[in-house]
Amino acid sequence: MDPAPTDPPPAAVGQLWSVDAGGLRPELLAGEDGVRALGALFDDLVEALGLHPVMEPRWHVFPGPHAGVTGFVALSESHLACHSFPEHGGLTLDLYTCRPRRAPDWRALVGRRVGGAGPVELRVRTLHRALPAASDR
């Protein structure tokens, strides 16, 4: 009897970390102070994971009383992006790398730069990316 045909394995193309953080200091998530604190967090992540920015981070500070911040940096490995919610003491962060890496200590990194008096509340989801096999197309 002939063995059953097998599909080729999918082509692994990296991973995405999606991080939701709460219990953070609102003043470090807003305005120009937010740009400085989140810029330092980006720098920490780049160093911790050995990433390679291909541009300076881009920042947008929203108008209004809460003045949240959106940031993005393109990496040779892909990208790092965040959006702050000072009115909720929260931050969302996405990091996509084109090859698997060991997860950083998200709680320590986020806590060091924007943490509050209490514990950082954190939810980290990891998605392993893979291109479909030829039979999936």
Task: Please give the positions annotated as active site.
Answer: 78, 83, 98
Q: Is residue 13 within a helix (H) or strand (E), and if so which, with residue range?
A: strand 11-22
Per the CB < 8 A criterion, the answer to whether 7 and 135 are in contact is yes
What is the token pair recorded at 99?
């090859």
**Sheet architecture: strand order including 78-85:** 58-61, 69-75, 78-85, 90-97, 11-22, 121-131
Provide φ and ψ at 7, rounded to 5°. Answer: -80, 145
Report DSSP state, residue 3. P
